[in-house]
A and B are shown apart, each in its own frame.
Chain A
Amino acid sequence: MNLYDIIFYFFAVVTVGSAMVVVFSKKIVYSAFALLFTFFGVAGIYVLLNADFLAITQLLVYVGGILVLILFGVMLTTNTVTIDIKSGTMNLIPATIVIALLAGMLGGIFWTSDWFMSKQFGDIVHTTTTTEIGNALITTHVLPFEIASVVLLVAVVGAAMMARRERNN
């Protein structure tokens, strides 16, 4: 077992463990904070997958942006953070059955499928991908990139508008 493997398992455990806390915790605040670790773990896994740029993006966007948003949402929709938020559950039994089946199915498919593997895998040099992404964004992927920026703009404006109208009420 080399260092790579150890790091992988470490992140895997962090990711899955914290995700479980997110899902099964009774208090919503715990869930929110556990989500932080999940994002970190996922970022680590990105690194292991030679996606350094994405890992950084993950941290910035998710931890810095989305998580903060979520925490705000939690605070705004509940009276106080300290009080135990009874975030009840529903559909437990059918959900458990369906999810268990689904997990089994996914796992089974992933496990048994004979994936196409690149032959040059072993030759890949571990270098940064930032340059490549940058090039791609302004060459081959320029149209999606532009659309994405428009979407973001619309989202930001829309969100602001909704929040404001609500304030008027």
Chain B
Amino acid sequence: MIPQLTIALAILFIPLVSFVILIFFGKRFAEKSGLIGTAFLGADLLLSVYLFFSKMFSEDKVWDFTFTWIDLHTVINSIPLKLDIGIMVDNLTAVMLVVVTLISFLVHLFSLEYMKGDVRYSRYYANLGIFTFSMLGIVVTNNYLLMYVFWELVGLSSYLLIGHWYEKKSAADAGKKAFIVNRVGDLGFFIGIMIVWVQFSTLTFSGIFSAIGGGNIPFGSTNWLTAAGLLIFCGAIGKSAQFPLHVWLPDAMEGPTPVSALIHAATMVAAGVYLVARTFPMLTADALLVIAYFGAVTAFIAATIAIVQNDIKKILAYSTVSQLGYMVMGLGVGAYTAGVMHLVTHAAFKAGLFLASGSVIHAMHHALHHQGDHHTDAQDIRFMGGLKSKMPITFWTILIFTLAISGVPFTSGFLSKDEILAGTLAFSHFNGHTIIPIIGFFVAGLTAFYMFRMLIVAFMGEHQNKERIAHIHESPRVMTVPLMVLAALSFFFFFSLNPLSASHGWFFEKMTYPTVAVPATVAATPTEEFVEEIHHQHNLAMILSVGIAGLGILLAFTTYFWKKISADAFEKALKPVHTFLYRKWYFDELYDATFVAATMGIAKILAWFDGAIVDGIVNGAGHVTKFIAVVSGKFDSIVVDGLVNFTAFTAGISGRLLRTVQTGKIQTYIIFAIAGMMALMMFYIG
């Protein structure tokens, strides 16, 4: 193993050490546990940065270390059957390592103040530790098995963090929902892994791709190859909250806000995108098309919902879903580097947005607490307003983030979003699916609109409650510093020196397209052709996207700042549409009424079936046996034992019997006579 990989291993395990220390000795450290966690993550960040630079300046394409974890000592299809696992660092991993450790570190820092006085302060930092560990695991692994392992661990830590305040039923519910919905996606992922393993007897990326490149196709059919790709993508659907499994992410906002920033904005949900990027070489054209459509539909649905939400975290949650859809769409159309870049830029500005909203909520909470007001929702933007002057740092950073997410030039968001849009245009150029770029541009406009709506309503204008605003203060340094760092990272110069095009920056240079492994007959457009076309579409995409974003921003200002258009009137006029969007397209209701209700119903029916029918048969058999036993017992005591007595009684009994027949009523006799006659008739005739 080369030394750099030892560093990678160190990066991976440092957060785990933090977790172990805090979970077992957290009580002892109490208030200091936050500092301990932050210190570990700081070290981790430094190592990641070092590794990043050494990888960037290295000539090696990939550093890889693989060893056999389990050897089954048998062969299948003349390949020895064993599970190889290991770690690897390529450019994508190096970047992701920095992204994860940086944001995790900032969130640790931010939480020092935000979570102060929490009942489970040390548990919180422990959970952050195990989350970071699992997320880093996803990033550094070189095979699907470990990927799945860490994938599930990420799910677990997300469950723990969402349910941090588990006394609240909604928090516990949200955690459970997140885990189960993710499990549904993971089920597909797992089936995909099964297909891959059964065919290739290996789960390392390089092994699989070289096998496919060598013409080895699952079950000899490209359809199965497409299916395998799509099933693995199912994992991404779950983790990255893509339609139709996006429902868990907004609920996950029940967790502490810094957690939302780390997990549900920057890293964990991006894992799905990362998975698609990793799987990219084995995705066929059909699979990519489906992925692109899933991304587009997700981006569209989430953006429409975000327009009407009032909870600041809900708005950000849906914008996250929408942006994730964007990234998936980007990968789906084949704009690999753009998708990955959007993942990175989005991580910075979305984490910033969440932390800023955390700062606002923190301040609001404080003020409300001071007033003794426990009814007003601290997260509702309608109760904010005019916070600009009170919280200048928060305002200015959030403005930068909003500009970035809206895709305004000179920001990082502009660079990546522009490339994705150019990619969609190129995609439609090659195979005529024009709906994808249309959705892409439309969603860009929507994004600009709802983000500025949030900004204007929350920060500008007048605050409605004089007393409350007097108590609102800017958050302490420990919270604003992370905001400023992230704001700085939202500018273009970190990714490309040319503010209008990323394609000549270091990112595009280092993050080259992976070699496509699938057979040429089912592969998407060849990379060179596609990149060429992107260049052609670049200017068009830039002009359109800037224009549309500007339009969205303008609309937001006219509606909410200058109030030239009445939002309320619109809302009234379009009541059904508004309700439909406000209730999130009724996805939750739909799932509750179908899947959840059906499962519970079937469960109840089966439980009844089990108790009443299956067990009933068993008990019935028991009763029958018992009855037979009783009868045979009676037979013994009455017939066999009483045979002697019976003989003696026969005369008496028959006499008594005959006496009852003698009713003295002639009609009864007639009946007997007829019956007897009929018996005789039967005997002789019949």
Contacts and interface: CB of A to CB of B under 8 A. Distances in A.
A98 B685 contact: no
Contact of B681 (A94, A99, A105): A105
B668 A102 contact: no
Interface in A82-120: 90-91, 94-95, 98-99, 101-102, 105, 109
A46 B96 CA distance: 113
Interface string B668-684: 10010011001001100
Contacts of B685: 109
B681 A98 contact: no
A101 B671 CA distance: 12
Interface in B347-398: none
B671 A95 contact: yes
20 contacts: A90-B665, A90-B667, A91-B667, A91-B668, A91-B671, A94-B671, A95-B667, A95-B671, A98-B671, A98-B674, A98-B675, A98-B678, A99-B674, A101-B678, A102-B674, A102-B678, A105-B678, A105-B681, A105-B682, A109-B685
Contacts of A94: 671
B408 to A, nearest CB: 97
A57 B674 CA distance: 31
Contacts of B674: 98-99, 102
Given A105-B681, A109-B685, 12 more contacts: A90-B665, A90-B667, A91-B667, A91-B668, A94-B671, A95-B671, A98-B671, A98-B675, A101-B678, A102-B674, A105-B678, A105-B682
Nearest to B668: A91
B676 to A, nearest CB: 10
A65 B332 CA distance: 109
Contacts of A99: 674
Nearest to A104: B678
B648 to A, nearest CB: 31
Interface in B129-183: none
Interface in A49-99: 90-91, 94-95, 98-99
Interface in B26-82: none
A95 B671 CA distance: 7
Contacts of A101: 678
Contacts of B678: 98, 101-102, 105
A132 B86 CA distance: 125
B633 to A, nearest CB: 34
Interface of A: 90-91, 94-95, 98-99, 101-102, 105, 109
Contacts of A90: 665, 667
Contacts of A105: 678, 681-682
The 6 closest A-B pairs by CB, nearest first: A98-B674, A98-B671, A94-B671, A98-B675, A91-B667, A102-B678
A98 B672 CA distance: 9
A166 B528 CA distance: 133
A168 to B, nearest CB: 28
Contacts of B682: 105
Nearest to B682: A105
Nearest to A113: B685
A99 B674 CA distance: 9
Nearest to B673: A98
A109 B685 CA distance: 9
A105 B680 CA distance: 12
A133 B50 CA distance: 139
Contacts of A102: 674, 678
A11 B221 CA distance: 84
A23 B678 CA distance: 22
B685 to A, nearest CB: 7
A105 B685 CA distance: 10
A88 B668 CA distance: 15
A109 B684 CA distance: 12
A99 B685 CA distance: 18
B3 to A, nearest CB: 103
A101 to B, nearest CB: 6
A123 to B, nearest CB: 33
A102 B673 CA distance: 12
B668 to A, nearest CB: 6
A101 B668 CA distance: 16
A100 to B, nearest CB: 11
Contacts of B668: 91
Nearest to B675: A98
Interface string B643-686: 00000000000000000000001011001001100100110010
Contacts of B665: 90
Nearest to A109: B685
A99 B682 CA distance: 15
B671 to A, nearest CB: 5
Contacts of B681: 105
Nearest to A90: B667
B110 to A, nearest CB: 91
B667 to A, nearest CB: 6
A72 B675 CA distance: 34
A90 B667 CA distance: 9
B363 to A, nearest CB: 91
Contacts of A95: 667, 671
A125 B665 CA distance: 50
Contacts of A98: 671, 674-675, 678
A107 B685 CA distance: 14
A95 B667 CA distance: 9
Nearest to B663: A91
Nearest to A101: B678
Nearest to B667: A91
A62 to B, nearest CB: 23
A90 B674 CA distance: 16
Contacts of A109: 685
A91 B667 CA distance: 8
Contacts of A91: 667-668, 671
B678 to A, nearest CB: 6
A102 B674 CA distance: 8
A43 to B, nearest CB: 28
A90 B665 CA distance: 10
B616 to A, nearest CB: 35
Contacts of B675: 98
For A95, A98, A99, which residue has the most chain B Cβ atoms within 10 angstroms? A98
A94 B675 CA distance: 10
A98 B681 CA distance: 13
A90 B670 CA distance: 13
A37 B675 CA distance: 30
B318 to A, nearest CB: 77
A99 B675 CA distance: 9
Interface string B5-18: 00000000000000
B672 to A, nearest CB: 9
A94 B670 CA distance: 11
A101 B679 CA distance: 11
A101 B674 CA distance: 10
A109 to B, nearest CB: 7
A103 to B, nearest CB: 11
A105 B665 CA distance: 25
A101 B686 CA distance: 13
A129 to B, nearest CB: 33
A109 B1 CA distance: 104
A105 B683 CA distance: 12
A2 B667 CA distance: 43
A91 B672 CA distance: 12
A91 B665 CA distance: 10
A109 B682 CA distance: 11
Interface string B616-633: 000000000000000000
A7 B351 CA distance: 103
